[in-house]
Every structure is written in structure tokens, then in C-alpha cells.
Amino acid sequence: MNRRTPLYEEHLAAGARMVDFSGWALPLHYGSQIAEHHQVRRDAGMFDVSHMTVVDLRGADVPAYLRLLLANNIDKLKRPGRALYSCMLNAQGGVLDDLIVYYLADGWYRLVVNAATRDKDLGWLSVTAEQFADVAVEPRDDLAMIAVQGPRARERTFAALGEALRDAAGDLAPFQAVRVGELFLARTGYTGEDGFEILLPARAAPFTWRMLGEAGVRPAGLGARDTLRLEAGLCLYGADMDETTTPLEAGLAWTVGWAPEDRRFIGRDVLERQKAEGLARVLLGLVLEGRGVLRNHQRVRCNGLGEGEVTSGGFGPTLGRAIALARLPAGVRPGRTCEVEVRGRPQPARVVKPPFVRQGRSLIDD
């Protein structure tokens, strides 16, 4: 039986088409995936992301633990209220999961990891924490999470939830967070647009959802969430990266904290060797030149440089074009043309550097 988020009844009342997602009952759309996509790009939409796994880490040894656990360096978080995107790696340098870590207070950090990897992640966190005397791993199943995204997201969130919120969160920069009463607001997201991700007690989620709706924030489902993140060139765990893929191969080299050299995070030796020897494959974007749809796992032929594979493919509603992220031979460069097998026929596709869209604006030069 699928688990239900605290907003399940709200979704049913709004006429959502519910589907299974990693064991959760979640809305695919509320009538039109395309309309929801455009709502987020042009105004503001909200997503129920309460299925995400929130884990609090407490104890004097947590900073040392995170320096070992994460490829990025949490020492970049100089003050409470700062956030960092990172990958959590295995000993072979493969991505166990990608996540956001928040520095809340001395000895208190918060991780938000993927729902599909919950059991694996919690097991890994517990095992690796055993090396430290004072690290407590606490899943926060008492919390819900609402993502409000779009160019008017912050304006509408403040209108819905009050001036006290504007006073506390109005000046937040991207990847900063603040606690306001029982609300935890982070200026983060997964759409390529501005906005907040709001963590709050599960019991308060339905009321907050309705207040946001009254302020003009429209609900959006998993379908729009996927097309938005694809246009933004954001990786999806299990598609664009997994335990067999390193951050360098997933286009996430920028998330690896190489300095200081003596920080020996899990998987570092493999990444250093790969960096020195060069990559055999890289993650780039594709724009289909003709008609058709790009889908996951389609074969890509790169004109004498070898073959690759589409990792995330679909239609970009903002662009009106079929687009994809693809793992390609390292010799392929943006501007080149490759051929993708679409329904058994080779179709030309232009190689581009992601993202395809940023803050509602196309980055593709036609």
C-alpha cells in the first residue's frame, strides 16, 4: 500500500491524478501537466515534496562526520542558515545519492535526501556514523515539505503566510535558510526558478497549502516537476547518476570540494585518479533538430567518437522542443551534431551545454 503525505486529501479535492512514486501516492498532475509547467515558469506553483527524506544529524562530531561523508566540503557553510548541495559517495566514487545539507546550529545539521533511496541512505548514514563517538542520526518523519517555485513564488508566499515571514526571509540569498516559528524556509528548489522549499510540521501542511492556494499559488504535480528540472539541466538520481557513476561523469564536478587536500572524503581516491587520467564519458545536453521525442536509454551515435545514451529525455514545454541529458564520449563538444535512434530511425540532435532554460529564458541558440 502506498504511503500518503499529509496533503493527500488536498490532492484528491483538487482532482489530481494520483500515481505511485517510490512507494508514495503522489499527484502526477491536476488536469494539465503543460499548464502546470507554464504556471511555474511564468508565475508560481507549489509541489508536495513531503515524500523526501529529512534527516537531522546532531552531536559534537557531526562536522567531522560530514567532512568524511560528503564530496562537497561543509566547511563552506560559515554560519547557521547556510545550505550546500553535495553527493554522497561509495568507496568506488559512485553516487549513493545527491542531497542538500543545511547548517542549523553548532552540532546540528539537516540533510534532505531522495525518497527512492531512503532505506539505503539511512543504512549508510548509520554505518558510517559508527566511526564517531557523538553523532545521532534522526529521520524527521514528523515533517512535511512544500516547494513553492516561480518568478512570483516569494511574493505569493509572503502574501499567504504573513509579513513576519517577509521580515525574516525577504533578504535570503539562494541556498540560505531561516526558521520562523515552526516553519523552516530555504531558498532552494528543483525547477530552475526562484522560490522556497518549506519544511513544517505535518499537521500544519494542509492549512499552509490552502493559504498558498488562496494567494494564487497553483498546485503542480510530478509531471511538471520533471520537465522543469530537465529544462534546468538538473540531474535525476537513478537516471542521470547512480552508484556506477561518479560526480565527474554526471556533470557535477563543481560539487566536489577538493580543498583542503588532506580531507579524505569517501571516494576521493577514485575521483582524484579519474580527474588525473581524464574522463571517458561526460554528461551533456541534446536538442532534437527534427520531429520526435527523446526518451531515456535511446542510443546516441557521435560520428566517429563512439556511442552514448540518453539518460533523461522528454519534451521541454518552455522551448517547444525535444531535449535530453545524455552520457556521451568525452571527445564530444557542444555545437556538434549527433544522431539519436528515435523509433529505430537516426535523428539529428545538436549537443549543448546544460541548462536549456534559466529563470524562464531559453539558453538555446537557434
Write out pLDDT tens, residues 196-239: 999 999 999 999 999 999 999 999 999 999 999 999 999 999 99
- Please answer whether residues 129 and 277 qualify as being in contact, where contact means their C-beta atoms are separated by less than 8 angstroms: no
pLDDT mean over 328-354: 95
Report the range of poorest mean pLDDT among 37-41, 76-80, 279-283, 362-366.
Answer: 362-366
Residues making up the chain, counted from first to last: 366
Q: What pLDDT, on the 0 to 100 scale, is given for residue 1?
A: 57
Q: What pLDDT, on the 0 to 100 scale, is given for residue 187?
A: 98
Record: fold of 3-48+142-231: Gyrase A; domain 2 (3.30.1360)
Sequence spans of domains, the chain: 3-48+142-231, 280-362
Q: What pLDDT, on the 0 to 100 scale, is given for residue 281?
A: 96
Q: What pLDDT, on the 0 to 100 scale, is given for residue 219?
A: 98
- How far apart, in whole angstroms, are the C-alpha atoms of residue 344 and residue 348? 13
Task: Decide if pLDDT at 19 tops 80.
Answer: yes
Q: What percent of the chain has pLDDT over 70?
A: 99
pLDDT mean over 3-18: 98
Count of Cβ atoms closer than 10 Å to residue 196 Cβ: 27
How many alpha carbons lie under 13 Å from residue 75 in its C-beta half-sphere? Answer: 11
Task: Decide if pLDDT at 345 tops 60.
Answer: yes
Q: Which of 327, 354, 353, 333 is nearest to 248 (CA)?
A: 327
Cα–Cα–Cα angle for 279, 282, 286, nearest 5°?
Answer: 160
Q: What pLDDT, on the 0 to 100 scale, is given for residue 366?
A: 59
Q: Which of 248, 241, 196, 192 is nearest to 363 (CA)?
A: 192
Q: What pLDDT, on the 0 to 100 scale, is given for residue 103?
A: 98
Q: What pLDDT, on the 0 to 100 scale, is given for residue 344?
A: 87
Query: What are phi and psi for residue 186, nearest 5 degrees?
Result: -125, 135
Task: Decide if pLDDT at 163 tops 90.
Answer: no
Q: Assign residue 190 a region (left: φ > 0; alpha: ψ between -120 and 50; beta: otherwise).
A: alpha
- Please answer whether residues 44 and 136 qualify as being in contact, where contact means their C-beta atoms are separated by less than 8 angstroms: no
Q: What pLDDT, on the 0 to 100 scale, is given for residue 6?
A: 98
pLDDT mean over 88-114: 98
Q: What pLDDT, on the 0 to 100 scale, is given for residue 309?
A: 98
CATH of domain 280-362: 2.40.30.110
Q: What pLDDT, on the 0 to 100 scale, is given for residue 290?
A: 86
The β-bridge partners of 350 are 287, 337
pLDDT mean over 318-322: 97
C-alpha cell at 366: 537557434
Average pLDDT for the chain: 97
Count of Cβ atoms closer than 10 Å to residue 282 Cβ: 19
pLDDT mean over 114-142: 97
296 pLDDT band, cuts 50/70/90, is very high
